[in-house]
Amino acid sequence: MGAARRIVNADTGEPIPYAPYAFVGKHTQVDKTRVEAITESCSFTPSQKFLVLWWIGVSPEGMEPLRATGADIGRRVGMTADAVGKINRKLVKHRILVIRGRIGNYKLYRISPYISFHGTGIEQREAVKTCNPPDIPGFDDSTPARWEAQ
């Protein structure tokens, strides 16, 4: 093994503090303002909010759907297939989930690229052109989030 590399200031030769990228697994861009609006909305139940978070974490790269049935999802999150189906239908109604294919009669979903996306910025820009923005009750994307306005 060679010596550890370090980053130095080109003018002074002083070391520049470095922190290794210590996260594991894949990463995604998330619209924090929309997620905040969903989690604070009284229009969604705690179970619906939980599944939004779950969908953010499991949606594949690009606009690919998650290839799983309601029964598969239910086993993973501790819900019945009927409960998952009902929640998914509500999230689709609000365009928080988007339908991206089918297995037989079962629809395949993924999180809206307006809420979360795994890919480059250019790919995300193209992805949002394929669907309408989510309809989050009480959310107005023309005003900044509360914490930004203060």
The domain limits of the chain are 29-129
Angle at 16 between CA 14 and CA 22, to 5 degrees: 155
- What is the pLDDT, as a whole number, of residue 4? 59
Q: What distance in Å separates the CA atoms of residue 80 and residue 47, rounded to the nearest whole number?
A: 12
- Which pLDDT score is estimated for 149? 47
Residue partners of 94: CB distance under 8 A and separation at least 6: 134, 135, 136, 137
CATH classification number, 29-129, choose in 2.40.50.320, 3.40.1160.10, 1.10.10.10, 2.20.28.10: 1.10.10.10
Percent of residues, the chain, with pLDDT higher than 90 = 66
pTM assigned to the model = 0.79
- CA-based nearest residue to 90, from 145, 51, 124: 51
- The conformation of residue 25, written as its DSSP 8-state character, comes to S
Q: Do the Cβ atoms of 95 and 141 come closer than 8 Å?
A: no
**Residue 97: which of 85, 83, 111 has the closest Cα?**
111
The CA distance from 9 to 117, in Å, is 35
Tens of pLDDT along 104-134? 888 999 999 999 999 888 899 999 999 999 9
Using CA atoms, how far residue 84 sits from 35, 72, 78, 88, in Å, is 20, 10, 10, 6
Give tens-digit pLDDT for 17-69: 766 666 666 778 999 999 999 999 999 999 999 999 999 999 999 999 999 99
CA angle, residues 47, 105, 82, in degrees to nearest 5: 25
